[in-house]
Amino acid sequence: MATTHELSETHYFETNPPPSTLPEHTALANSFIKLHHSASRPVVLLTSGGTTVPLENQTVRFIDNFSAGTRGATSAEYFLSQGYAVVFLHRQFSLLPFSRHYSHSTNCFLDFLSEWGRIGEDDEGGKDGEQAATPDVVVKARYRQQMLSVLRKYRKAKEQNLLLLLPFTTVTSYLFTLKMLACQMQCLGNEALFYLAAAVSDFFVPPSRMAEHKIQSGDIPSTDGDGSTGGGKKLVVDLDPVPKFLKRLVEQWAPRAMIVSFKLETDPSMLLSKCRQSLDRYSHHLVIGNLLSTRKREVVFVDRKGLEWIRTPELRDGEEEVEIESLIVPAVIRKHQELLQRQRSGDTNR
């Protein structure tokens, strides 16, 4: 007998249309996962960015979840550097591994380039004694080492097909694709790792209540629900809860994988209890808690053994900022390797 939760979860997938990208993404994921399974390479499904909740079918307005994609894009680079293949399920147009270093808003790419004319005009120019036949574009000398390092890692990931980029936009496209990927990854058994950093909507507008066209500001339905059009400028949005998919992920979609979820809070007094509540509710392996205001400096690991804070070191003058993901990812990988070791020695506990 299906529980209410399963009905709502099953009902959700039956009543919401799958994304048009699903067939293509399924084929891409299938060959990517087969490639790395045959190479006995661990694969991490890394989700990143915020999901949207459209208010109209022909979407003009939507509710978005906060996430720039920094956590996901940065973590992906560190998983790649540790030998994992990465399925990067990300919000379309959010930050991506490698290119995140030169995004439109920070480190504008063009600031790193100079136009090389005659020698001596620009100390960033080419070799001494040469003169450009025509002005050329060169990377300014002071940026070359850093960019070269990023370029080499980017090229290695591409040439060895270690990074699969799959975009989503809405919460529905995210959930359909997550479910597909989890089922595809079952062949990997416990070599699969789920690192759920995406900011997933908790509420959505069911198709039965979704407007087809742009909601007009003049004819917002009146709040007394009699269907007449009110003259007011209010917009009353009636949302349903998104099914708690994590339980289905743990119990059915990916029963042998290691599953790590992130918990985002803004109130420090709630963080630890919410992390423990999530762990108790879903019985997965690890919850990484973080506060919106300090997410780049500290996170807390909460698992069955207890809790452990991970913090970036205090900066001294002139020191480079430490990316907290350079501490998070190795710690998650250590836990994944410990779990694999335990399972190889016959311990079936999560």
**Chain-centroid distance, C-alpha 330:** 17
- Residue of the chain from 52, 67, 114, 184 that contacts ligand 9Z6 (CB under 6 A): 67
C-beta of 54 vs 243, nearer to ligand 9Z6: 243
Interface with ligand 9Z6 includes 167 (CB under 6 A)? Answer: no
Pairing of strands 62-64, 52-54: antiparallel
Q: 230-264: b or e for each residue (b if 16 or more CB lie within 10 Å)?
A: eeeeeeeeeeeebbebbbbbbeebbeebbbbbbbb
CB of 261 vs ligand 9Z6, minimal distance in Å: 5
Task: Report how far residue 115's alpha carbon sits from residue 251's, in angstroms, rounded to the nearest whole number.
Answer: 57
Interface with ligand 9Z6 includes 261 (CB under 6 A)? Answer: yes
C-beta of 37 vs 249, nearer to ligand 9Z6: 249
C-beta of 43 vs 199, nearer to ligand 9Z6: 199
Count the alpha carbons within 13 Å of 104 in the hemisphere toward its beta carbon. 4
- Residue of the chain from 41, 140, 144, 244 that contacts ligand 9Z6 (CB under 6 A): 244
Interface with ligand 9Z6 includes 202 (CB under 6 A)? Answer: yes
Task: Report how far residue 40's alpha carbon sits from residue 105's, in angstroms, rounded to the nearest whole number.
Answer: 38
CB of 94 vs ligand 9Z6, minimal distance in Å: 7
Q: Which one of 98-106, 178-186, 258-266, 326-334 is the stretch in contact with ligand 9Z6 (CB under 6 A)?
A: 258-266
Interface with ligand 9Z6 includes 69 (CB under 6 A)? Answer: yes
CB of 196 vs ligand 9Z6, minimal distance in Å: 6
Interface with ligand 9Z6 includes 71 (CB under 6 A)? Answer: yes
Interface with ligand 9Z6 includes 177 (CB under 6 A)? Answer: no
**Among residue numbers 181 through 200, which ones bind ligand 9Z6 (CB under 6 A)?**
196-197, 199-200
Q: Which one of 21-29, 67-75, 107-115, 209-217 is the stretch in contact with ligand 9Z6 (CB under 6 A)?
A: 67-75
Task: Report how far residue 179's alpha carbon sits from residue 22's, in angstroms, rounded to the nearest whole number.
Answer: 11
**Among residue numbers 321 through 350, which ones bind ligand 9Z6 (CB under 6 A)?**
none
C-beta of 125 vs 197, nearer to ligand 9Z6: 197
At residue 40's C-alpha, the angle toward residues 37 and 42, to 5°, is: 80
Interface with ligand 9Z6 includes 114 (CB under 6 A)? Answer: no
Interface with ligand 9Z6 includes 100 (CB under 6 A)? Answer: no
Interface with ligand 9Z6 includes 290 (CB under 6 A)? Answer: yes
C-beta of 145 vs 269, nearer to ligand 9Z6: 269
Strand ranges (DSSP E) for the chain? 43-48, 52-54, 62-64, 85-91, 113-116, 136-139, 163-168, 192-196, 203-204, 240-241, 258-265, 286-291, 298-303, 306-311
C-beta of 41 vs 296, nearer to ligand 9Z6: 296
Task: Report how far residue 36's alpha carbon sits from residue 85's, in angstroms, rounded to the nearest whole number.
Answer: 7
Q: Position of tokens 């009353």?
A: 236
- Residue of the chain from 32, 78, 194, 262 that contacts ligand 9Z6 (CB under 6 A): 262
Pairing of strands 163-168, 85-91: parallel
Interface with ligand 9Z6 includes 89 (CB under 6 A)? Answer: no
Task: Report how far residue 121's alpha carbon sits from residue 117's, in angstroms, rounded to the nearest whole number.
Answer: 7
Interface with ligand 9Z6 includes 284 (CB under 6 A)? Answer: no
Residue 156 in tokens: 């290695």
Q: Which amino acid, one-letter code, is at 46?
A: L
Neighbours of 291 (CB within 10 A): 18
Point out which residues bind ligand 9Z6 (CB under 6 A).
Answer: 67-71, 196-197, 199-200, 202, 244-246, 261-264, 290, 295
